[in-house]
Amino acid sequence: MDKVKNIIHKVTSKRKPADSQTILITGASGFVAAHVLNEFLEHGYKVRGTVRSEETANKVRATHAKYADNLSFAIVKDVAAPGAFDEAVKGVDGVIHTASPFQTSGIEDNERDLLNPAIHGTTEILNAIAKYNPSISRIVITSSFAAMVNMSEGFWPSHTYSEADWNPVTYDDAKSTSAGSVAYCASKTFAERAAWDFAEKNKPNWDIATILPPMVYGPNAHAVSSVDHLNTSSADIYGLINGSKSEVPTNAFWAYVDVRDVALAHRLAYEVPEAGGNRFFITAGNYHYQEFCDIIRKDVPEARDRTPEGKPGSGLGGVQVYKVDNGKSKKVLGIQYRSMEETVADAAKSLVEIEARK
């Protein structure tokens, strides 16, 4: 262990000041990635983002116009294609890999549509770094609570999830399941495992840290043309405020985090020497949609009358669910999580603004 710590210190102590570094952030147009871009740009880094097209690059330029001089792009049309990141990784000082498919419905082939893109998207960027930029110090990979959760256990009230947990799904089950959520969770699991396996097998000069958030909520910082084109978690919140529900819905998952804290976690996992070689469960705690509705009705008057009232103040409603342990992220990264009220109110206000663009 001391040897590993010495290697990590040796690598990270050689880092240049932030304003002399360029960070590659993959999937730069996404909900989480847009905040990751902001986090690094606000702290003086130059950022090279990967996007699928020049049209998408222009949209990201527009949403991050304040930092135009420090933002550049690499076009990567297919993250799973051989050599996809070969050019993108050249000359950067660190890599934040957020790009991965998110889809739980309309899937025709689990392996083709989910498993291969997630796994190969991860291994392709690691291969590219090994070939064309082996001197970088650290790669931070966006994994997910999906790579931790044991879906067969359901609410599992006796359990506390932590970084020690791995989703136990098998590859064969992931290929054959008709449940899109199971296949998606499996894709995140096998993508993260592929990263750790690569590091173990190849012993590169750089190290890896992975970020594992559950449901990610908060304001939108990426380009959104209308409420008809929201990312999954924003659509989740919008479903509470658009008048479509008369009753408070039931949760599918029971842990959440603010997107801005996820972005912060990525930067700190890159910067903090001791973060190397670690998984970080990034979560603010448990939640129930009832709590979200209570906050929206209190703090977002424009949405109050369209948001289900349910049973105000009932919290989790007596439901016994798994607990979560975010102690490692607090201790190693020093994160102090935003309150649920700040997260939900800011998310809802952001959606009200998008809605007004009609």
Pick the closest to residue 231 from 75, 76, 101 (CA basis): 101
304 membership: H or E segment, kind and range: helix 301-304
User: DSSP letter at 251?
Assistant: P
Which of 225, 236, 230 lies closest to 292 in space, CA to CA?
236
Catalytic residue selected from 46, 188, 201, 358: 188
> Does 323 participate in catalysis according to the annotation?
no
CA-only gyration radius of the chain, Å: 20
Residues 6+ apart with CB under 8 A from 343: 217, 218, 256, 257, 258, 284
CA distances from 71 to 37, 86, 249 (A): 9, 19, 40
Taking the C-alpha atoms of residue 236 and residue 291, their distance in angstroms, rounded to an integer, is: 14
Count of Cβ atoms closer than 10 Å to residue 95 Cβ: 27
Q: Which residues are known to be catalytic?
A: 188
